[in-house]
Structures are given as C-alpha cells and as structure tokens.
Amino acid sequence: MRSREQKKYLDTLKKYERKMDSKEYQKYKMLVKRNKDEEELDKLSLEFLKSLFDKYYTNRERKSFDHFFKQNESSNSE
C-alpha cells in the first residue's frame, strides 16, 4: 500500500518541481531516486513527501457552468 501511495505522490509532485525551493527540491530528488531503486520510504520521508504534496497540490473543484446553459422552459412549451 505504501509503495502505491508514494508513487502517486511523486507522480503528482513532478508537475510542481519548478515551484519548490532548492532545499525542498534536493530532498524531493532524493526521494525520486529512492523510488527508482524500488525502495520503500521510511516514516519521516513519507511524512515529508505528504507535506510537499499538501503544500503544492491543490485539489480544485470543477466549476459547474450549467446555469449559463439552461434553457427557458416557458419558451419551450410555447
């Protein structure tokens, strides 16, 4: 379970590498190397990875634009 979780975090954070400061980026790259070696992360490393994920990844809700495309029901019945 942990390996899936860490892979998901690393794949998502790949998009945000440019936004990281140098210290975070170095630690992140080290975690990527450990993942390539198929090494499971320890508790502290996984916590750091989760903190990066929480910091950079924002799960935005998709906006619903249905109210712009509603048809008037009164005009359809005529």
Express each pLDDT in 22-75 by its tens digit. 999 999 999 999 999 988 889 999 999 999 999 998 876 777 777 777 666 665
What is the DSSP secondary-structure string of the chain?
A: -HHHHHHHHHHHHGGGGGGS-HHHHHHHHHHHHHHHTTPPP-HHHHHHHHHHHHHH---PPPPP-GGGSPPPHHHHH-
Q: How much is the pLDDT for 68?
A: 76
